[in-house]
Amino acid sequence: MAELLDRYRNLITIGLAGLVAAAVVAFVLDQRDSAQPLTINLADPPASGPIEVYISGAVAEPGVYEMSDGDRIIDLLYEAGGHTPDADLDSINLALRLHDEDQVLVPRIGEAAGGLTPGVLGSAAAKTDINTANAAELDDLPGIGDVYSERIVEERIANGVYVTTEELVERKIIPRATYERIRDLITAGP
């Protein structure tokens, strides 16, 4: 028997090595088949650092508050000590998400509707016309700085007025995420 074992030792070693290699390959293929695919959700970008938001009107403690990007108006209202008894909460959308430099105006009963306003005090219904606004006015929009505001004006001069606000993305002037932040605050008037 020892003589037979010595004679086929190399073949037995190769056979065992082949079995081990086949088992490793089978294990790796099984792990690869059961791996979950990587998915990226662009609908809700991850929250970034702290933001500064101003709240005024019918609130207990108006002022500038540090919040997290993506917090909602209701969260800001809570931070400001809540609303006053004469607040008209039905006229604003408490579920809107906040962004840096936003201003929230909580109206009193009988006043014009308040809500989310970019940068400066005013009615939420007043929109910035991207066909007539200068670079400084566009710069007041959240997420639009000097570079984007200049691009918007230069593109308007070079290639004509905007028919829709969506053209800011179509003409590759601003990224989609920035457009989503300002789309309710702008218009492409005549």
Q: For residue range 19-28, list pLDDT tens digits in order.
A: 888 887 777 7
Distance CA 55, CA 116 (A): 9
Task: Please check whether residue 106 is in contact with residue 73, taking contact to mean a CB–CB distance below 8 angstroms.
Answer: no
Q: Give the pLDDT of residue 139.
A: 84
Q: Give the pLDDT of residue 77.
A: 92
% of the chain with per-residue pLDDT over 90: 20
Q: Give the pLDDT of residue 119.
A: 40
Higher pLDDT, 103 or 3: 103
Q: Could you report the per-residue pLDDT of 54-86, keeping only the tens digit for each?
A: 888 889 998 889 998 878 899 999 999 999 999
pTM summary value: 0.40
Q: Which of 22-31, 50-59, 101-110 has the highest mean pLDDT?
A: 50-59
Higher pLDDT, 134 or 8: 134
Task: Please check whether residue 104 is in contact with residue 123, taking contact to mean a CB–CB distance below 8 angstroms.
Answer: no
Q: Could you report the per-residue pLDDT of 109-148, keeping only the tens digit for each?
A: 877 655 555 443 333 446 888 988 888 888 888 888 889 9
Q: Is 29's pLDDT higher than 80?
A: no
Mean confidence (pLDDT) of the chain: 79
Buried b / exposed e along 148-170 (16+ C-beta atoms within 10 A): bbebbbebbeeeeebeebebbbe
Q: Give the pLDDT of residue 1.
A: 65
Distance CA 28, CA 107 (A): 63
Q: Give the pLDDT of residue 111.
A: 72
Q: How confident is the model at residue 167 (pLDDT cuts 50, 70, 90)?
A: very high
Q: How many helices (H) and strands (E) does the chain have?
A: 7, 6
